Amino acid sequence: MSSDISNLRKFVSPEIIFGVGARNSVANYANTFGARKVLIVSDPGVAEAGWLKEVADLLSEADIEHVTFSDVSPNPRTQEVMKGAQIYQEHNCNVIVAVGGGSPMDCAKGIGIVSANGRHILDYEGIDTIHLPIPPLIFIPTTAGTSADVSQFAIISDPIEKVKISIVSKAVVPDVALIDPETTMTMDPFLSACTGIDALVHAIEAFVSTGSGPLTDMHALDAMKLINENIVTLVENPGDIHIREQVMLGSMKAGLAFSNAILGAVHAMSHSLGGYLDLPHGLCNAMLLEHVIDFNYKEASDRFKVVAETMGIDTRGLNTPQIQKALMQRVITLKADVGLTQKLAESGVNITDIPVLSEHALDDPCILTNPRKSNQRDVEAVYEEAL
């Protein structure tokens, strides 16, 4: 009997506790991992919202010693990772708890990498570069979009080179994700919109990725449906916990999809933008999405048709160009409905920046699974369209 190894797919995931109150399990899991002392990684916004203190109190009530590192920027910097690793080692910690959005979670992954493997965080750029297991990671996301809590990605900003590096390894898949919709109640509408669109992009790119397969497709399609149907209502009614739960479920499913299928040109270009101009990641994705769909469409038209149908477009009687136009318009309308109408130029991008942005995008691992192969001029043209 012959077999086709090209059909083999792996699927990695943390242990997931999902639902209101999930965060309250943090001490139980810290004990499970034999916590001697926990490093809690967070950021000033999460601290101000009260989630950092709540998690610290839960650990204290269980007599688990901990130290806090909350000096994390919206796009976590290399020096913040190195500082956090130093604190981890100085305090003899052996478990890491991250509380926050993508930035504290990515920083926590970086801290784990450096504390276990030594060397500078930049030395681990790329795919499967981590050789020693990192400390147990317990993640409590406070946004519904980045999915760092379930993914094998860590994205770190190098402020000297003005680039974001991608570290892709199952070593940075968290051990436990405590996904609690209540923690997203403190997000403002702009952050809710940015992270929600980020999750939608995760789902779309994972579905059309050359690394997609049955294990990722089901999560990607569920995520698209959940986010498409709920993100506008969430921005309009931020206090609705049921809607928050639906969007967070969509974000989680999108994360499981992209972590295993990888992504595409939207994220490669977005990482370049975010590193160069220090812009919010979700906003970068939003500004690029329909332009990358336009570029990729002919290479994955059957899959994009399914995306269109999943996002509520009736494709009966429509030819391929009509479906493409309808999908792009649906994306534009959805972004407008949540208040994300910005273009690259008004976000600080100049035409002269595009060659270097494109060069960095082509170095990003996410470009490898984009459905359409591209050279620098292709990427430059997409940036120019998005200006």
> What does 35-57 look like in DSSP terms, one character per residue?
-SSEEEE--HHHHHHTHHHHHHH
Element (H, E) at 167: strand 163-168
Residue 9 and residue 215 in contact, taking contact as beta carbons nearer than 8 Å:
yes
Predicted confidence band at 1 (pLDDT cuts at 50, 70, 90)? very low
Give the domains, in start order, of the chain with CATH numbers. 15-184 (3.40.50.1970), 187-386 (1.20.1090.10)
Rounded mean pLDDT of 78-85?
98
Least confident residue range of 104-108, 248-252, 274-278, 360-364: 274-278
Percent of the chain at pLDDT above 70? Answer: 98
CA distance 359 to 66: 42
**Closest by Cα among 1, 36, 33 to 15:** 33
What six digits make up the tokens of 56? 């610290």
Average pLDDT, the chain: 95
Task: Give, in order, the Cα–Cα distances in Å from 356 to each of 42, 126, 201, 282, 352.
Answer: 32, 19, 23, 21, 8
183's CB contacts (< 8 A; 6+ apart) are 23, 51, 140, 141, 142
* Side chain identity at residue 358, one-letter code: S
Rounded mean pLDDT of 98-110?
97
Question: Does 2 have pLDDT greater than 60?
Answer: no
Residue 176 and residue 29 in contact, taking contact as beta carbons nearer than 8 Å:
yes
* Side chain identity at residue 326, one-letter code: A
Quick: pLDDT tens for 334-351. 999 999 999 999 999 999
Which 8-state DSSP code applies to residue 345?
Answer: G
Predicted confidence at residue 278, as pLDDT, reads: 87
Provide DSSP, 47-101: HHHTHHHHHHHHHHHTT--EEEE----SS-BHHHHHHHHHHHHHTT--EEEEEES
Predicted confidence at residue 9, as pLDDT, reads: 79
Element (H, E) at 274: helix 265-277
Quick: pLDDT tens for 137-171. 999 999 998 999 999 999 999 999 999 999 999 99
**Closest by Cα among 72, 27, 28 to 47:** 72
Predicted confidence at residue 6, as pLDDT, reads: 61
CA distance 196 to 193: 5
Predicted confidence at residue 10, as pLDDT, reads: 83
Predicted confidence at residue 5, as pLDDT, reads: 52
Quick: pLDDT tens for 203-253. 999 999 999 999 999 999 999 999 999 999 999 999 999 999 999 999 999
Rounded mean pLDDT of 281-293?
96
Helix, strand, or coil (residue 31): helix
Residue 88 and residue 110 in contact, taking contact as beta carbons nearer than 8 Å:
no
Which 8-state DSSP code applies to residue 364?
Answer: S
Question: Does 63 have pLDDT greater than 80?
Answer: yes
Rounded mean pLDDT of 37-52?
97
Higher pLDDT, 2 or 118: 118
Predicted confidence at residue 4, as pLDDT, reads: 53
How are beta strands 126-127 and 95-100 bridged, if at all?
unpaired
Quickly count: other Cβ atoms within 10 Å of residue 60's Cβ: 13
Percent of the chain at pLDDT above 90? Answer: 95
Tokens 């940075």 — which residue? 172
CA distance 247 to 249: 5
Rounded mean pLDDT of 278-293?
94
